[in-house]
Every structure is written in C-alpha cells, then in structure tokens.
Structure 1
Amino acid sequence: MDVPTKTIELFARQKTTSSLDTFVSLLSNPFAQSIEKNAFWSALGTSIGGSALIACLFCFVRPYNSVVYAPRSRHADSKHAPPPVGKGVLDWVAPVLKTKEQELVEKVGLDATIFLRFANMCRNIFICITIVGCAILVPINLYEHRSSIGSTGAKNFFTQLTSQGVQGTYLWGYVLLAWFANLTIAFFLWHNYKSVRRLRRAYFDSPEYQKSLHSRTLLITEIPRGLRTDEGLVKIVTEAKDTGSNPRTAIARNVKDLPELIEEHNETVRNLESVLAKYLSNPNKLPPKRPTCSVNKSDQTYRKGQKVDAIEYLTSRIKELEMQIKEVRESIDKRNAMSFGFASYESIADAHTVAYKARKKGPQKTSIRLAPRPHDLIWKNLPMSSKQRNWQTFINNLWVAVLTVVWVAPNALIAIFLSNLSNLALVWPAFNTTLTNHSTGWSIVQGVAAPALTSVFYYFLPTIFRRLSNHAGDLSKTSRERHVMHKLYTFFVFNNLFLFSLFAAIWGYVAAVISSSQKEDAWSAIKDGDLLQKGIRALNSVSTYWITWLLQRNLGAAVDLAQIVNLAWGSFSRHFLHPTPRELIELSAPPTFDYAGYYNYFLFYSTVALCFAYVQPLVLPVTAFYFWVDSYLKKYLLLYVFITKTESGGQFWKVLFNRFIFLTILSDFLVALVCIGNTTFGYTQWLPKVCALAPLPILMLIFKWWCASHFDNKLAFYTTGVTAADTENAAEMKTRRTDRVGVRFGHPVLYKPLITPMVSAKSRHLLPSIYSGRTAEVEVPMAGYSDVYMDPMSHDEPGKTAKGDTPAPFEFVSENQMDFEFYKNRPEFRDQAGGEGELYGRPQDLVRRGSHGTLMTQDGTIMTDFDSRRGSSDSAATRMGDETGTTYPQGYHKTSTALRDQSPASSVRSMDIGNADRRLDNEHLLSGAAGMGRGGLPAPTPGGYGPLRLGEIHTPGESDQEDTSYDYFRRGRGLN
C-alpha cells in the first residue's frame, strides 16, 4: 500500500524567485531611479541654495570668530601675515581677488601657490571645453535623439542630451571635440609647466632657500658597511662628482628603541593629561572615586591587565620613561653606525651638481639625492635598502589592491539599497512593512546613511594610505603625500568611476549570458552579449547621477569655506569631552592643508567631467562652475585659515601633470568606445573615426616626454654643473666657511625636548592633595638635557622661585593662555601645527650669516644675538645673549662642571675662545648689551618654556678647520 507523500515547502518558491529576480534586476540597472529629471533639479536647488545659505552665514559669522576663520592672521609674523581684512560682511572678497601670485608665494608658500595655480588651470580648461563642447554636442545629441527615436514626450530632456542614438556622420563632432580637448589641455599644461619652472627658479634664488641648510646638503643611503664613517661619506660623494670642495659629512648612528620610548612617553603624558582633565573638571566637587587605568603591556612590575590608580601610575611611568630615555641618549655614541648619512657643501651649486650626476645610480651601489628639510624626513625608513623598499612597496600595493577589491561589494550595495531603501524593501518583505509604517523615519535614514558611510570611509582612507606608505619606505613626508595622492586617485578612478559606472553593464551582460546559456551554448551567448553596447547604454543611464554628484560638490566647497566641521567639533569637544589644556591649544592652531586629498578630488572631478563629456555634455558647465567657485574659496582658505605643514617647494606638480595626461588619454579611449558602441552598421562606419582618434594618445605621450626633457631638470636642480657664474661668489662662500655651516642633520629623538603634562591652573591647589609624588624639580634635574636648569619658577612672578608645595612634574596653564599664540614656538606644538616654524618667523632650517652669535637650538631653531634693529618677523623669542658674562635671573643656576662637560654649551667652549674674544673686541656686537637679567628680554612663555631656554643651544664650530667628529656634535645636542 502506497503511503501518500506530504510535500512541505520550506521556502515559498514563487516569492523566493520573485525576490531573486527583483534583486538581479536592481543589480542590472541600479540607476534606474537616477535618470529622472527631478533628481537634477533637486540637486541643483540643494547645491545652489545650500551653498548660498552657508556662504551668507560665513559672511556674517567670520568677523566675530578669527580663531576659526583667520588663524593665520592671528599667528603669522609680519612677512607671512595675509592681507588685512575688515569687519564688513563682504570685506574678505577684495583681498582674495587682489592678492597676486608673487604675494601668494611670500605669504603662503610655493606649495599653496601651485595648488591655486592648478585650480585656476582646471577652471580655465573646463571653461574652454564647455563653450566648444556644448556648442558641438548639445545640438547634435538633441537632433539625433529626436530624429531617431521620434517622440520627445517619452523621454525627458536630460536623456535627450546623452549620446544615445547619435550615429553616422554626426559622430565626427565627437572626434572634433576630442581633438580640441586634447589641444586645450596640452596648451594649459605647457603654459603652467613654464610658470611652475619660473616659480621654482625664483624659489631657488630666494633668500630663504639660499640660506637654508638642506639646499646644500645631500642624503646618502644604502652605504656599504666599510664606508659607514664620515670619511667614507666624503669618498662616496667625491667619487660621484669631484667639485673641488670638501663637504662636511656626518654618518647616522643607531638610535635603537629611542623613538618608541619617546612615542610611549608622549602618549603617556597625554593619557595623564586626559585623566586629570576629567577628574579635575569641577575643582569644587571632585568625584568620589579616583580614576583607574590598566598598566602598560611592557610594564613587568604589574600583572597584565591589572587596574591601578591612574594618576600615580601614569606619573611614575612618565618618570621611568624619562630615565630610560636619558640612559639611551647617553649611550648613543657606543652604538653602531647606520647605512645613511649627510654631506653638506659650502655651495648650493656643488651639492646640486653631485645630486644631478648621481641621480640614476651612485657609486658603491649607494643612492645620493638632495636632502629634504630635516622636519620632512621619515627617519625610520632611511636605513631601508632598495631590496627591502621594493618588497615593502609590493606589499603596500597588494594591500591597496585588496582594499580596492573589497570595497567593490559595499560600494555597489550602498549605491543600490541604502541610497534608495525602497529597493531594499523589494527584496526584503519584512522590511517593506516597517518602511511603510515608519516612512518618515526611514526617509531620514535614507538621506543620511549612504553619504555618512561613504564619508566615514573616505575620511579614513587617506590615513590608511599614509600608514601603508610609511611602511613602504618613503623617505620624506612630502614624497609620502605624493604617493598617497596617487593611490587615492587610482582608488577613486577604479572603484568610484569605472566599477561604479560600468557595474550595471557588466552585471547585465553576465545575467544575459547566464540566461542565454540555458538555451544555447555558452560561447554563443558570450558572443551575442553585446557588452560594448550595454556598456554605452549604462554610461548614458548613469550620466545624470554624475551631474547631480558634481553639483553637490559645490555644497561641499561651501561647507569647507565655512569650516563647519572644525567649528562644530571645537564647540562639541569644549562642552562635552573635557579637553586637556594641550588639546585646547591645538584646537586654536591653524589647521594643516591636506594637499593629497584636495588634489585627488580635483583630479577625480576632472576625470569624471572629461570622460562623461562625450556621454552627457551637461557635466562640462557643472564642473567649470565648480572650479570657478572653488578656485576663489580655496584662495581664501589658504590665505587666512590653512597652513602648509611641510613645504616641498612645489614638487607636487609633476605628479599632477602625469595624472592629467592619464585622464586625457582615458577620455580619448572612452570617446572611441562611444563611436564604436553607437555604430550599428559595421566597422566601416566607426573605423575612420577611430583612426582619426588614434594619434591623440600617442601625441599626448610625446608631449609628456617633451615637457619632461625640457623642464624637469630645471625644476629639480639649482644647477646641473658648476659654471663660472657659480664660482663668482667666492667671498660669500668664505663667509659661509666661517659661519658654522657644518651643522648636521640629526635624528630628532636625540635632542627634542620631552613634553610635560599640562594642567589647568584652576586646579593647581588640588594637585598636592591628589598626588603624592615628588614635589621638587631637583630630585630629577633637567640638567640631563641642558647646561642650565631651573628651580620651580613662580607662575605669577617670573624669575622668582616657586613655593615648595608646587608639584614640579606638571605645567600649569591659565584659562586665558590656552591658545596657540602662546605656544607656537614650542617644538611639540610647532611640529604639529606650525611645520618648520617659518610662518611664525622661526624657520628651523635657516642658517643666518654675518653674526658670530648665530646659534642653533636642539630642535633646529636658529637663535641670534639680541639686536634691537631686527624687524618684527624676528620675534624677541629668537634673541639670545652670548653665554660669556651673562647674568642669570633668580631661579637659574649654573650646573656642575661634570654636567657641563657633556652639555650643549660644551660645543660653545670647544670653539676657539681666543677667536671669540677677538670677535667681541673687533665687531663690538655685544659691547652695549646688558646681562640677561637686565636686558629687558620678555618673560618666558607659559609653563616656564620661553626664549631663555639656554639648554637647547647648539653652536657648531666656526673656524675654517671645524671639528666635525660625531662626538663633537653629539655633545652639542645635550645627550645627557
């Protein structure tokens, strides 16, 4: 007897198939909702209206918030201060329009000037292409679309403007526009290449470059073990090119774990500051429980993960790290030499001649290049060999490729579902019910979710690429930024343009092949898939999306001008996050300009516009309008808001030039595909057009080679060979020989001052009751870093010894001094928000001539004798009396002889004292100067750190036969 079988349907077959079909349909055409005309008008209204509203708010708020909208005016010296701007609503417009390029170079530097020139170039290019492109393509597209398709009511106006339906002889208009675009781009690139060369030559001849140390210094890497001495460096550079002058050389020493120790020290200091800021946020009512923290992983004194009192532990940890750093610094001279070093010439021409001769390959398999600024070096990468660097670069590129591929799926899903939650409801019936019941709430999520997720990802993307570039072996921060820009551009073009735009075509082609393969063999399905035609149709359907996307960039430019993010974050952190005094000081500092990010956006906008101009001509006026607006807005930001953290001297240009050549060639290939994809009558119709387009990529490559051969050497080198004109200033080189030009590049961990925990002065009276540690500085004297140390100085009475109940390990900051203006010359703040200090009148790399009192501090800052005739750009903080005969105010004490033997002042005594006395008698530079206690010098900056930090002075020898041994310079950097 047969038992009837009961079939249980685990899944609703019909519903599952329907949902799957819907999902495939959405993947095949994810932009079906994007081609409606309402999308354009809503984007246009949002962009223009929102930008105008934000710009009006900026005009009214700007005069009352100079901390956010004009920090450069507050902190820059007279030379670098931007033009004054009034309090009127539109008073900021006139300085932006009237400031010329030469003034920009002096005010904001060459990197910022070239950025603005690049923005203006993009604006001019797209204005020209817009006028000609719209005049050619708009009539052709409208006429062909209406004549071939017929009814105009069935399609909206924006669809009629696409290349869909254009065939036959009308495609020659596309060819004509391609030739015009290539010639226009080539002309502006050539014109700006000449201008950049002029700016670079003026930069080489500028007093700042002529007097800088890095301009005549070479960086030698991959030095063989047998030549890792000062004499070995001389042999290497002389073998590369004998210029007739002997360079002064310095081989680097192994600092081992010192960078990690200092990094941990700084992090621990910041952690302690954060704990104290939260615990003492209300001094009148302390929390009942003291803060706790987990012990450091490397601390073997405690159990792993043990909770301890945060204030006591972090303070003792800082003290322990200070002692470790001191011990390592004292033993540096006992460590082995590294595989890199520096050679400093007396003449810029000599250094550049050697660098030019060894630009491809140096002697003894070394690499010789012009040294970047000391602040620009990435020290941990200098010892890497070329083999290690190549391997790390390969791994880096592999990670970038993995990240690019991994982001494909989230990018597609965000574009399809989060940007339109109704699509998600089509394939998820349960969500459809929720969406229907709470439509208002989900509409808000739809408007925020997709942009928020992509914005968060793109916010962290440059940081990810920077860390990868650091591991890849970049030698300088500026070269790292150029590589980051290249990786960002590659990622955006591949993921956001190529895959994002062609995803529908690729998926539709695959789906059609899978469907057809069920009826016929797979190869026939592949051949009949018409991938090219599907791709062109996909580009037409997505073109309106890119118009709306470019329109929204104008809103982004207005948001950038108004500094809404910085303004909101600063207000939020001050009111809710209990910021430390250090964080408040950093919030008031000028923000740094992200050249890699902004250049990437400009290049990506240009790529989108030039590629889609042949598909949807409306992208051209939208892009031209964006560049026209942003070229002025960025000019204001660079004049009054942003600073260049590390000046490269305009070295971004060649990378920008190469990227523009690439995007032009990419657009040439795209217009060729449009001509082929729109032809339905065989190759005889499209072959002549493709042949007419074929010379364009070849001509652009020839143009690139011609520009490189004619301009690159003049951009990179002051001279390629010593000439008679270079040797005319023998007297000046004689002056340099007696002006201590043997100052060596040194790893900053050897001399950079350690930071001290900052505490708000309003909580000063509470520290003795909550902290049981040392209460006198003399227990851990700072003489280990200088030849002069201070007793705790009274905060209210500078020069007076503080009372014994003041906790010495802390620095008190009053409420009215939590501003970057009071700390802009401090190394820890200047490195993060002031670059090399040039903006504030204290360039680290400058070597002044003509005064025997020219001194260099441990952090590289030049300090000169007190001279009342100096201009305002040389602030009083840079003036210093000679040590001989100086009277110190109360609170300063001479250290013992044992300490002074290894202090920085030992380098002063290692000079020819007789020569120093003779100079004092002959030059009378200090004959009328008062002692330091009577000279009227300004009081130290808050916290006791000011212009009187004599312990940071480093004076190299100044006779012709200067002592250039490593120990000599080590003593001068205060390694006790």
Structure 2
Amino acid sequence: MDIAALLTSAGINIAVCVVLFSLYSILRKQPSNVNVYFGKRLASRCSKSRDLCLDRFVPSPTWVMKAWETTQEEMLTTCGLDAVVFSRMVVFSIRVFSVAAVICTILVLPVNYYGRDRKHKNIPFESLEVFTIENVKEGSEWLWAHCLALYIITLTACTLLYFEYKSITNLRLLHITSSQPNPSHFAILVRGIPWSSDQSYCETVKKFFSFYHPSTYLSHQIVYKSGSVQKLKDDAEYMCKMLSSGCGSMEQTCKPSFAQCYFCGGSTNSFKIISNETDSIHGRTGYSDVHLNARKKECAAAFVFFKSRYAALTVAQSLQTSNPMLWVTDLAPEPQDVYWSNLCIPYKQLWIRKITTFAASVTFVLVFLIPVTFAQGLTQLDKLEKMFPFLTGMLQKKFVIQLVTGYLPSVILVLFLYVVPPVVMLFSTMEGCVSRSERKKSACSQVLYFTIWNVFFVNVFAGSVISQLAVFSSLTELPAQLAKAVPAQATYFTTYVLSSGWASLAFEIMQLFPLFCNLFQRFILGYNEDTMNGFLTFPYHTEVPRILLFGFLGFTCSILAPLILPFLLFYFVLAYLVYRNQILNVYIKKYDSGGQLWPIAHNTTVLSLLVAQVIALGVFGIKQSPVASGFTFPLLICTVLFHQYCRQRFLPIFKNNATQVLIDMDRRDERCGRMEQIYEQLSSAYCQFSSSDQSECFSSHQGEREDVRTPQDMEKANEMREDISWPPVIHSFDKPVKGGK
C-alpha cells in the first residue's frame, strides 16, 4: 500500500465525518428530535422547545464548546463515576499518544525513512513500508532511537497510569462516603438456600440468620420467580382456574396480587381471583390461596438486611456453612443494578453455565476467523486476482486499487464486528450475572479480548487456520514471528483506525437507529409526543473495548510504524468531544458500578506495553542489534513489577469495601440519628416487580404481620428510594449545571 491509498481512505472517512457532523448540528436543533439527541434532558423533564428560525437549519459547532467546557465535577454530579472513568480513559490516551506522536515523529520516523540507501519517490507514490522499521537495515546503529523512544513511551504511560489509578481510587472512595445511604451497603445476597419440605424458603432464611446472626440481622426479602415464561405460566394457571370454576355467571376479576410470608415478607407475582361468592362456595379464603402460590414461586435466593454496614460486609465475606455450595453470601448490588432474571438460577448451575459459555465463546472466535481472513485477503491483490479472474481488468485501475487496498478491508471487518457485542452480551447473560453492571463488565472484557485477538493477532498471522495455529506451536518463536508480521500489517491497522475510529464516532453522534425510529413514529404512525418507550444507557461494553483496542494498536505500532500516531491522536481528541456530548445529553444513568471499569483499562494498557516490548525485542533481534535487545529486557521486568505494585496498592479497593470506611459511616449515621430512617428505607429498596407489570411491590419487615400497601404507600416508597440515590441533576440546553439535593 502506498501513501495515495492511505490518503484515499482518509479522504473518504473525512468526507463521511464532515457530512454527518454537519447534519447532526442541524438535526439536534429540531424540536422533533429532542428525544433522540437530548434523551437525558427529556428524562429529567428539562427539555426546551425552539421557535422557527434560520439558525435551526445552519450547521454550528456549539455542541463542541459545551462538551469541552463541562468540568469533571459537573460530569461526576450529572453522569456518575462510570462516565468520569470512561472520560479519564480517553484523556489518558490523548496525553500518552501526544508524547508518543512527538517523540516518534522527531526521532523514529526520519530513521525509518532514511534507514536504507535508496532513491525515494515522490511522497504520494511512496510505499508505506519506507516509513516503518522494515526500511532500517540490519545492524544499523540508529536502532538506539527506537529503543529510546520505547523507553520514553513506557515511562510516560506508567507514570500517567499510576496517577490516574490513584485519582480514580480516591474518586471511588469519595463515591462511597459522600453519597446518600446506600441500601446495598446494608444488604447481602444469599443463594443456595437449602430446600425443606416442612417450611418455605422465606421461613428458612429467617430461622437461619435469626439463630446465627441474632444481634445484627434486621430483615430479609425473598426472591420470586419472574420473567416472561413465568408470566405465561401464571396466565395459564389463572385460565385453568377460571375454566374449572364453572361459574360463568359470576363476575370475576383477575389482578396480580403480591403475597407476603406471614413471618418475613417478600414479594411474588401471583394471580388471585377476587370473588366473594366463589370463595364462599368453595369454602376457602383468598389469603391461603395466595400464600400457597407465593411458596411455589419462591427461589433459593434472598436479600438479607443487617443493622450496620460492617455487619453486612462481615457476613458477605465469610463462609456460612461447611458446605460452600449452600448459604452462599455476597455483597448485594444496588437496587437499580439488580438483574432479577438471573437471581432465580440455582447456584449449583453456575459453573456449568460458565463452562458452556466459554465453549460457545471459543466456537464463536473460530467461526469469526472466516470474515477476518476474507477481509485481510483484500489487501493482497495478487491472491485476489487468482481467486476472482474476472476482476483482473477492474483491478488494474489506479483508483480501484487504492479503494480496495486502502478502504474496503477495514470497512468489511468493521461491519462484521458489529455482530460481536450483542452475541457477547448474550453470553454474559447466560453466565448468570446477578447485576447489570457485572453483566456489562463481563461483556466488556470479552468484547475487548475478542477484538484484540481478531483485529490484531489474526490479521497479523493472516492465512489458513492451520498456519495460524502452527505459529503458536513454539512460544519461543513468538517474538520473532510478531517482529516479522506486525510491521508488514501496520499500514492495515492505520486504515482500520480511520474506518473503525473516525467513521464510528460520526455514526455514534448521529444515533441513526433512534433517529429512524423517531421519524417512523412521527411521520408514519403520527405519534408527536417527545417521549420514547425507553431511554438509552451508555454502551460501555462496546465503547470501552474500542478505546482500549486503539490504545493497543498505538502502543504496538508506535515505534514500528509511527504514521499511525497522528491519525490515532486525532481520533482520541474527537472521541473526547463526542462521548462527552453523548453522555451529557443522550444517555441516562440507571446505575453506577463505582468505577469498576478502570482496572480493565489498566490491565489492557499494561498488556499493550508488554506486547509492544516483546515485538520490539524480536525486531531488534532480527535487525541484529544486541545493544537495543539488551536494554529492552529490563524494561519488560520493570513494567511487570509496576503492574504488580498497582494491583497490590489499588485493586483491592475496587474489589471490596474498606472496613474502616464503613464503620466510620455507621458511627456518623448513629450520631445523626438516621439509622431508623435508613431501616425504613431498606424495606422498600429492593422492589422486584415494577409498576409496568401492574403490580404492587411488598417487601419484608421486621414485625410478624402481613403488610398491605396502597398506591399512596407505593408512591411514598418510591420517594424514599429516591432519597438514597444520587441527587437529581437539572440541565439546560445551554450548559449543564450541578444539581442539588
């Protein structure tokens, strides 16, 4: 590939970006699109209508300034810690690759270009190989420049990583201590409750924790079977009751009714026939019928509440019985974060599900080799002409050659990669994750490793599947194989950054699918309200892997093919503006994992540095530079030691809550006299059935009585739930401002 082919790809992507960004700046001003581009403002009921004026139809960059001017404190209050962590990932990439671009452009690029005594062509007709380390002759004394650049990049990355890790750790601690009382700090999730024919799960849980934790146990809420299948089953059971009653003349009304265990409570979605005449005929009470239905729908899982945060943490991290498969305890996720469908999965099935999911993931990776190999084959015109002889005449044209080699391969691979996130999210759901943040975190890791493997390693070792597997027959040959293959594919990675990076940001900000849905609703269905069926949450499982993948490509190709760095740096700057705009205006925050995605970013960055150093070690060996090779070994060791230090220093804070912090929070609430209010809020925090199910939500209480709630009680309970979440934030179209309590 030559510079002209690269410029062709860049020109096409620049044109696409300019058109889409200009179109976005116009569409976002139209009142009919407020639910597409200001979904978050609409969810907060702070949207504004605009009068008809010429400014609405003229492109303007005002959104860029608004995204740039928003401070981290405003973003933390508005969007939560997860959004701030994602923004810090992009900022880190901008900083480290700014240094890399300057160093490699000044120090490495001239060495690569003049590495051999050869006559150079005009720049547009130069092959991209003359800008890579392949153009440096063996035994060159100038390879010290590459080694020095590698040292500077690694030192810069590790220094920035350390300060980012430290800063985000402090933000996580602040997130825990400064927020309103969180129900998840007082609750644990219990699974693997033993079944008993004599008593229900609800009674078993109360008996166990009242006996073994009498001083700290407060109450609990049992988990009930839910989901589409259960609803269909309930409907079928109700229809059978209606048909078997034979009371066609009697007026019966069916409505969902939630029963509560007599002693400990908990909610269930069971149908109850409301007919005084029928009950009197059959001689039964409505409560006993509902109580039996409730027991049949109980799951072997429950939320158990304790009187202090420290008590909940102690019970969650301790082994309850000698059988580790029974009474399994863990910290409870936040109420908004609970993924109720997976709570009913028996705990003993989880290991089978993980093995099955792993096998399905491996199969998916192997199947995906087909489109990746096909896309890579388009970069080799000689093989393409042999496979498709009828294209020989067309492939002789200059523009077609530039289009096929510089644009189509990366576009085809990007299109195939759009299938990956939904499939991986399905795998993460099948694993049995009990929280939405855990499911998205698992999907994020899987998508990341999947894309790194297919975009980088499979493309590097492109060819038949047998030859790809044969490469790894000897790990000692891996550095040499990578050293030979990566510089040759560096130009392909540059075009991939253009197609998957720049264009993806333009499509992200346009929100094409919601836009088409909105147009269909308004102009086809005639629906003119500024509301949609559901608002979007930020797709961390797709965007975090994309950011980290480009960082991986930047580190591995920085000293081998420095031309990728300017395109990569421009992508990160554009991503900073686009993602901040989307987080502030489009996506809403339903839950917050407390910055759990940062350890993934840290581990991937360190992996990228190690892979880059291994490749450099192989390149220096091939280029017969023992001095550069010798200096690379200490860099590898120091990077591993730095990673281990960060794991010991910061990672435990992301895995567990500190006892010191929780005890201080308990004592502070006791001094302020807020414990009784917190206990009342716990009773309504974990509501399994939403109002969309036309259900009333009941929760457990410490007293031994049946609690019947009215709609007014439910409204009050929802207000109490809002008191224990982040304070609401009010926006305006002009500039986001921090909201108060």
Q: TM-score, normalised by structure 1?
A: 0.58
Look up the equivalent residue of 1:128 and give its one-letter code. Answer: V
Change (3 A) 1:860 1:389: farther
SS in 2 for 1:326: strand
SS in 2 for 1:248: strand
Partner of 1:342: 303
Q: 2:395–2:401: 8 Å Cα contact kept in structure 1?
A: no
Q: 2:93–2:551: 8 Å Cα contact kept in structure 1?
A: yes
Matches within 5 A, 1:492-503: 492-503=451-462
Partner of 1:312: none
Displacement after TM superposition at 1:626 (Å)? 0.9
Partner of 1:205: 177
Change (3 A) 1:77 1:392: same
Look up the equivalent residue of 1:216 and give its one-letter code. Answer: F
Q: 2:338–2:435: 8 Å Cα contact kept in structure 1?
A: yes
Displacement after TM superposition at 1:536 (Å)? 4.0
Displacement after TM superposition at 1:693 (Å)? 2.0
Q: 1:215–1:348: 8 Å Cα contact kept in structure 2?
A: yes
**Does 2:1 match 1:40?**
no
Change (3 A) 1:44 1:491: same
- What is the CA–CA distance in structure 1 between the aligned matches of 2:309 and 2:432, rounded to whole Å? 27
- What is the CA–CA distance in structure 2 between the aligned matches of 1:174 and 1:237, rounded to whole Å? 67
Q: Please give the root-mean-square deviation of Cα atoms over the aligned residues, in Å.
A: 4.7
Percent of paired sites with the same residue: 18
Task: Name which of 91, 101, 112 aligns with 1:141.
Answer: 112
Q: Deviations over 1:283-340 (max 9, x none)?
A: xxxxxxxxxxxxx9xx99xxxxxxxxxxxxxxxxxx9997995159764433375432
SS in 2 for 1:592: coil
Partner of 2:718: 861
Higher helix share: 2
Displacement after TM superposition at 1:233 (Å)? 6.1
SS in 1 for 2:451: helix
**Does 2:435 match 1:476?**
yes
Q: Which runs of 5+ in 2 are unaligned?
A: 49-54, 241-252, 258-268, 273-288, 699-709, 731-741
Partner of 2:185: 215
SS in 1 for 2:419: helix
Displacement after TM superposition at 1:573 (Å)? 6.3
Partner of 1:76: 44
Task: Name which of 16, 34, 52 aligns with 1:66.
Answer: 34
**Does 2:20 match 1:54?**
yes
Look up the equivalent residue of 2:191 and give its one-letter code. Answer: T
Partner of 1:270: none
Matches within 5 A, 1:732-751: 732-733=672-673, 735-736=675-676, 740-743=680-683, 748-749=688-689
Task: Name which of 421, 435, 440 aligns with 1:462.
Answer: 421
Partner of 2:610: 665
Matches within 5 A, 1:403-482: 403-417=364-378, 424=384, 426-429=386-389, 454-482=413-441
**Does 2:88 match 1:117?**
yes
Partner of 1:762: none
Matches within 5 A, 1:739-778: 740-743=680-683, 748-749=688-689, 752-754=691-693
Q: 1:346–1:733: 8 Å Cα contact kept in structure 2?
A: no
Change (3 A) 1:37 1:329: farther
- What is the CA–CA distance in structure 1 between the aligned matches of 2:402 and 2:158, rounded to whole Å? 47
Q: 1:346–1:741: 8 Å Cα contact kept in structure 2?
A: no
Displacement after TM superposition at 1:611 (Å)? 1.0
Change (3 A) 1:859 1:163: farther
Q: 1:141–1:161: 8 Å Cα contact kept in structure 2?
A: yes
Change (3 A) 1:720 1:161: same
Matches within 5 A, 1:92-491: 92-144=63-115, 146-147=116-117, 150-153=118-121, 156=126, 158-166=128-136, 167-168=138-139, 169-208=141-180, 210=181, 212-225=182-195, 232=205, 245-250=215-220, 252-255=222-225, 259-262=228-231, 326-327=271-272, 331-335=292-296, 338-355=299-316, 366-384=327-345, 387-417=348-378, 424=384, 426-429=386-389, 454-491=413-450
- What is the CA–CA distance in structure 1 between the aligned matches of 2:488 and 2:459, rounded to whole Å? 12
Task: Name which of 532, 551, 560 aligns with 2:508.
Answer: 560
- What is the CA–CA distance in structure 1 between the aligned matches of 2:387 and 2:371, rounded to whole Å? 17
Look up the equivalent residue of 1:388 and give its one-letter code. Answer: Q
Change (3 A) 1:559 1:360: farther
Look up the equivalent residue of 1:727 and give its one-letter code. Answer: R
Q: 1:855–1:862: 8 Å Cα contact kept in structure 2?
A: no
Displacement after TM superposition at 1:443 (Å)? 12
Displacement after TM superposition at 1:724 (Å)? 6.5
Look up the equivalent residue of 1:666 and give its one-letter code. Answer: V
Partner of 2:649: 710
- What is the CA–CA distance in structure 1 between the aligned matches of 2:24 and 2:301, rounded to whole Å? 50
- What is the CA–CA distance in structure 1 between the aligned matches of 2:642 and 2:610, rounded to whole Å? 12
Look up the equivalent residue of 2:64 and give its one-letter code. Answer: V
Change (3 A) 1:362 1:543: same
Matches within 5 A, 1:547-696: 547-552=494-499, 553-572=501-520, 575=523, 587=532, 590-679=535-624, 685-686=625-626, 688-696=627-635
Look up the equivalent residue of 1:618 and give its one-letter code. Answer: L
Partner of 2:263: none
Q: Deviations over 1:267-289 (max 9, x none)?
A: xxxxxxxxxxxxxxxxxxxxxxx
Partner of 2:738: none
Q: Deviations over 1:550-585 (max 9, x none)?
A: 123223212322334432453356556x59x7x987
- What is the CA–CA distance in structure 2 between the aligned matches of 1:360 and 1:36, rounded to whole Å? 67
- What is the CA–CA distance in structure 1 between the aligned matches of 2:529 and 2:400, rounded to whole Å? 37
Q: TM-score, normalised by structure 2?
A: 0.75
Q: 2:372–2:458: 8 Å Cα contact kept in structure 1?
A: no
Change (3 A) 1:587 1:482: same
Q: 1:163–1:616: 8 Å Cα contact kept in structure 2?
A: yes
Displacement after TM superposition at 1:638 (Å)? 0.8
Q: Which has the larger radius of gyration?
A: 1
Q: 1:251–1:340: 8 Å Cα contact kept in structure 2?
A: no
SS in 1 for 2:659: coil
SS in 2 for 1:503: coil
Displacement after TM superposition at 1:873 (Å)? 7.4
Displacement after TM superposition at 1:152 (Å)? 2.3
Change (3 A) 1:453 1:90: closer
Q: 2:218–2:306: 8 Å Cα contact kept in structure 1?
A: yes
> How many correspondences in the alignment?
653
Displacement after TM superposition at 1:430 (Å)? 5.5
Displacement after TM superposition at 1:872 (Å)? 9.3
Change (3 A) 1:134 1:457: same
- Say which structure, 1 or 2, has more relative contact order (CA 8 Å, 6+ apart): 2
Q: Deviations over 1:663-691 (max 9, x none)?
A: 22122211112112333xxxxx43x5334
Change (3 A) 1:436 1:628: closer
Look up the equivalent residue of 1:670 and give its one-letter code. Answer: I
Displacement after TM superposition at 1:223 (Å)? 3.6
SS in 1 for 2:114: helix
Q: 1:218–1:371: 8 Å Cα contact kept in structure 2?
A: yes
Displacement after TM superposition at 1:401 (Å)? 0.9
Change (3 A) 1:707 1:365: farther
Partner of 1:845: none
Displacement after TM superposition at 1:705 (Å)? 2.7
Look up the equivalent residue of 2:229 and give its one-letter code. Answer: E
Look up the equivalent residue of 1:197 and give its one-letter code. Answer: T
Displacement after TM superposition at 1:619 (Å)? 1.2
Look up the equivalent residue of 1:201 and give its one-letter code. Answer: L
Change (3 A) 1:335 1:619: same
- What is the CA–CA distance in structure 1 between the aligned matches of 2:520 and 2:328, rounded to whole Å? 49
Partner of 1:918: none
Displacement after TM superposition at 1:377 (Å)? 2.2
**Does 2:492 match 1:545?**
yes
